[in-house]
Amino acid sequence: MMFLEYSLIGIAAGGIYGLLALGFVFIFMASGVFNFATGQMMMLGAYFFLAFSKIPGLPWWAAFALAILGSIVVAIILEWVVIRRLIGQPVISAVMVTMGLGWMLQGTASLIWGQVPQQLPDVLPRAPIFIGEILVPGRSVWGFVIAIAVALASVVYFRYSRTGVALRATASDQITAYSMGINVPASIRLTWIMAAISTTFAGVIAGSINGVTPELSNVAISVIAVVLLGGVNSVGGVIIAGLMMGWLETISGVYLGGHWREVIPYLAVLLVLLVRPSGLFGSKLVERI
C-alpha cells in the first residue's frame, strides 16, 4: 500500500517533468536548439505569478494570465535578440548561450526576489484525495491533472492544427518548409511561446507545492535526463518519460534514502541510452547522403 501511495505521488510529480520536457522538445524540434534555460524560464514564470498576485484586487487567474504573458514576452525577446543570431552556428554555441541566459535569469531573479523561499498564493486545492484506499495530497493530484491537460493540449495542437502542421514541417526540414511558404522564423518563435506557456504552468504548479526560490530552476536538470530518456524528437515519449522519472526519483528516495534519488534515475537513463541511444520513444535520426 505504501508502495502504491508513493508511486502515485511520484508519478504526480513527474507530470511537471513531462510538461517541462515538452517545452524543451518543441524548441529542439523546430530549431535544433537545446534550451538549457528551460528551468530558469519555469522559475521566472513562478516569480511572475508571485509578483502579479501581490497586486491588490487582482484575482489569481488574472495574475496567472499576466504571468503567462510576461513569460511569453521574455521568451520572444530571448529568441529574437539572442537565439536567432545563432542560426547556422555550431551547436555548442547555442548550448553555451542558453546556459548563460539561464544563469542570467536566475541571477536576476535572486537580485529582485532574494534567496528566501516564498509561498505562492494557494491556488491548488489542498484537500487530500482518496484514490481507492490510497490517500494522495490534493495539490499533487491537481498539479498533475493540470500539467497533463496542458501537455496533451499542446500535443493535440502540434499534431492536428494547421499551425502545428507548419511546425512539424519546420521541424522536419526547415529549407523545404521555407520554400513552401511556411514562415520558418515565425514557427520557431511560436515554439518559444509554447515553451513559455508550458514552463509557466510547470513553475506555478511546482511553486505552489514547494514554494519558490531561484533554485527552483535546478529542477530542470532532471528535465534534460527526461528528454534523453523519452527521445528528443518524441512529443508523446517525453511526457511518459517525465512520469517515469518522477516515479523513479520518489521511489528511490523513499526506499533507498534521499541521496539515492539523485543517483538512481540518472543511472536508469544511462542504462536505457546504452541500449537505445535515441531514447525509449525517439525515432532514429537517419543521416541521408
Partner 1 sequence: MVSPAVDRLGAQSPSQPLLEVADVTLTFGGLHALSGVSVEFEEGTINAIIGPNGAGKTTLLNVISGFYLPQQGQIRFQGRDILSMPPSARATLGIARTFQNISLYRGMSVLENIKLGAHTTLRTNVLAGGFFSRATRRQEAALTQRIKEEIAPPLRLNEYLDDPVEGLAYGIQKRIELARALALSPKLLLLDEPVAGMNSSETEEMAKLIQRVRAEWDVTIIMIEHDMSLVMGISDRVAVLSLGQTVCEGTPAQVQTHPKAIEAYLGVDDDAVTEVHA
Interface ranges with partner 1 (CB under 8 A): 157, 160-166, 168-169, 172-173, 175-176, 178-185, 190, 288
Q: Which is nearer to partner 1, 57 or 88 (by Cβ)?
A: 88
Taking the C-alpha atoms of residue 176 and residue 235, their distance in angstroms, rounded to an integer, is 22
| Residue 261 near residue 24, CB atoms below 8 Å | no
- The upper half-sphere exposure of residue 240, i.e. CA atoms within 13 Å in the direction of its Cβ, equals 12
Taking the C-alpha atoms of residue 99 and residue 122, their distance in angstroms, rounded to an integer, is 32
Query: Over the Cα atoms of the chain, what is R_g?
Result: 19
Q: Which is nearer to partner 1, 274 or 286 (by Cβ)?
A: 286
Q: Which is nearer to partner 1, 57 or 181 (by Cβ)?
A: 181
| Residue 121 near residue 64, CB atoms below 8 Å | no
For the chain, the first-to-last Cα distance in angstroms comes to 55
Kindly state the DSSP code that residue 214 receives in the 8-state scheme: G
Q: Which is nearer to partner 1, 122 or 173 (by Cβ)?
A: 173
Taking the C-alpha atoms of residue 185 and residue 84, their distance in angstroms, rounded to an integer, is 8
Q: How far is the CB of 166 from partner 1 (least distance, A)?
A: 6
- 3-state secondary structure at position 129: strand
Q: How far is the CB of 184 from partner 1 (least distance, A)?
A: 7
| Residue 185 near residue 84, CB atoms below 8 Å | yes
CA-based nearest residue to 239, from 25, 72, 8: 25
Q: How far is the CB of 162 from partner 1 (least distance, A)?
A: 5
Q: How far is the CB of 225 from partner 1 (least distance, A)?
A: 26
| Residue 147 near residue 16, CB atoms below 8 Å | yes
Q: How far is the CB of 121 from partner 1 (least distance, A)?
A: 28
Q: Which is nearer to partner 1, 143 or 279 (by Cβ)?
A: 279
Q: Which is nearer to partner 1, 210 or 278 (by Cβ)?
A: 278
Q: How far is the CB of 134 from partner 1 (least distance, A)?
A: 37
